[in-house]
Amino acid sequence: MAKVYVTRRERFNAAHKLWNPKWSEEKNFEIFGKCANENWHGHNYELFVTVKGQPDEDTGCIIDLKLLSVIINERVIDKLDHRNLNLDVPFMQGKMASTENLAVGIWGEIAESIKSHGCELHSVRVHETENNYAEYLGE
Ligand code: NI
């Protein structure tokens, strides 16, 4: 049977700061640039969640996209939207608030739930800006 990949996009706005306390101020700004700004800054994030599965005989779909949206919103968007990624988000505690770590963290929050609905999570892609995104495939 054909395996198909389906993607749902969600959006959230959040603040963060990239700062490594082991480094000097100079090195932090050299490595993280504007993302090291002391008093935080925000991004308009876009999240793309791709699931894979075989189309159901009765619906022709691999997952109800309304249901996928509910899973993503309840498990991650509600925890991320209009929050501070460094301070407010339980699954980001103790990690650098990078796009990479965000993608890995989001995977951990939704993978099981998607599986329980007969589908498999394929990738989590987080766009921080128009030009930069990180993608996690669960490896
Ligand atoms: Ni930033």
Q: What 3 state SS string does the chain have?
A: CCCEEEEEEEEEEEEECCCCCCCCHHHHHHHHHHHHCCCCEEEEEEEEEEEEECCCCCCCCCCCHHHHHHHHHHHHHHHHCCEECCCCCHHHCCCCCCHHHHHHHHHHHHHHHHHCCCCEEEEEEEECCCCCEEEECCC
Q: Is 119 annotated in the active site? A: no
- Residue 97: band (very low, low, confident or very high) from pLDDT cuts 50, 70, 90: very high
The CA distance from 20 to 13, in Å, is 23
Told to judge if 61 belongs to the known catalytic residues of this protein, a careful annotator would answer: no
Residues in the chain: 139
Structural domain boundaries enclosing 25: 4-136
Candidates 25, 41, 61, 82; catalytic one: 82
Q: What is the pLDDT of residue 55?
A: 94
Global pTM reads: 0.95
Domain containing residue 115: CATH number: 3.30.479.10
Q: Which two tokens stand for residue 107?
A: 């995977």
pLDDT tens profile 106-115: 999 999 999 9
Cα(19) to ligand 1 centroid in Å equals: 10
28-59, pLDDT tens digit by residue?
A: 999 999 999 999 999 999 999 999 999 999 99
In the chain, the number of structural domains is 1
pLDDT at 1: 78
Average pLDDT of 88-100?
97
Average pLDDT on 11-15 reads 98
The average pLDDT across 126-130 equals 96
